[in-house]
Amino acid sequence: MSTRETLLIRISGPDQTGITTAVMGILAAADASVHDVEQIVVRSKLTLEIVVDVPRGKNVLKDMLLLGWERGLDVDFDMVDSAPAISIPSLIVSIIGAELGPNDLESVTSAIAKSNGNIERIRRLARSPVWCYEFEVHGGHLEEMRALLMDSAADSPRFDVAVQRSGLRRRAQRLIVLDVDSTLIKNEMIDLLADQAGVGEQSAAITEAAMAGALDFEESLRQRVALLAGQPIEIIDRAYDQLELTAGARTFIRTLKRLGYKVAIVSGGFVSFTDRLRDSLELDHAYANQLEQKRGVLTGELVGPIIDRAAKARLLTELADAEDIDVEQVVAVGDGANDLDMLAAAGLGVAFCAKQVVREAADATLSTPHLDAVLFLLGVRREEVLADERDTNTS
């Protein structure tokens, strides 16, 4: 008969300073070996679970019960197998919505169970500007789970979901490539210019058809740019003044930079805008199309190669190579058909307030118009962002 036994000790109750220290002191005095520790505090309520190997005959149980009585804690014990738990590759399921109630959580957890996934941990990452929960799931099949969860989200459009593999690659993603029109900014650059030129309605109609994938991007872009022929270049400055960043964009980029990410924008718009955005937001890279100018007037033509759907994907790959980052560790964010190849090329492609064709093709979807919600897909908690902002403002 073994001279030692393996126990799961579970301690719960009001959180207090020194509980873990006292527990470890009892285990040290009993010559115990600690195999695993999990601790969480929710609304000042502590749950501490420890798997230990202890010599038979020691007073561990009595001493733990006495500690519980003195501190007002519940203490439970279970005999468990001494064999170490097998580490199973896990998935991360993120659920994001303006409000998340029991019906939403039931829908998500049901989809996880149907794909043979087992939820091991749930964390709340945010409750402002949106709610976000993160589920760590062991077992299950990624593609099957993603399909079931997407069906659940489609049936209940109150929330968005994303499924990713956990592990080092997720935590090590170090390049974000962003679309600009209707992603980083609320506007469309060409429409801002067209409004200044008095041809807004004609341009907007072409833009909508292009974003829905009904028109070839290059053809539609050239048609819209042709509407600007003869306009003075001053309309660029006036149009830029009308540009509006998407909610949460500055917080999103500041946080990424503090985390050590490289941030690039790749746009089917124009360098006259993207170069200024790069400088004002301190981005690392910016690529877009070049409007031709002659003697202070726009010619209605473009200079150089077009940044279209294929070019965006190519630039993403080239940026990853230049920064010595595996393409699987790149996150791409976009909203239109012109972004589809870029989203597919990235390790994580996020459809942001996107057209249906893009939502169906992306790894993750976000319907909330807050760009900083993308941070939650990276496992960043809202409280961490706010704390960092406070530290920066007071330093």
Order of strands across the sheet that contains 45-55 = 33-42, 45-55, 4-14, 74-79
Cβ of 283: how many Cβ atoms within 10 Å? 21
Residues across the chain:
395
Among the options 181, 191, 341, 372, which is catalytic?
Answer: 181
Among the residues of the chain, which ranges form H helices? 19-29, 60-71, 102-114, 142-155, 168-171, 189-197, 200-211, 217-226, 234-241, 249-258, 271-281, 309-322, 340-345, 356-361, 374-377, 382-394
Q: How far apart are the first and last CA of the chain?
A: 61
Burial of 124: CB neighbours in 10 Å, binned 0-12, 13-18, 19+: middle
Residues paired with residue 287 on neighbouring β-strands, in sequence order: 266
Among 255, 129, 265, 128, residue whose Cα is nearest residue 185: 265
Conformational region of residue 266, where left means phi above 0, alpha means psi within -120 to 50, and beta covers everything else: beta
The phi and psi torsions of 41 (rounded to 5 degrees) equal -120, 120
Among 311, 320, 318, 353, residue whose Cα is nearest residue 336: 353
DSSP assignment, residue 166? -
Angle at 271 between CA 265 and CA 272, to 5 degrees: 130
The phi and psi torsions of 35 (rounded to 5 degrees) equal -95, -35
Among the options 104, 160, 179, 341, which is catalytic?
Answer: 179
Could you confirm whether 181 is annotated as catalytic? Answer: yes
Could you confirm whether 195 is annotated as catalytic? Answer: no
Buried b (16+ CB within 10 A) or exposed e, 131-152: bbbbbbbbbbeeeebbebbbeb
3-state secondary structure of 70: helix
- Which sequence positions are flagged as catalytic? 179, 181
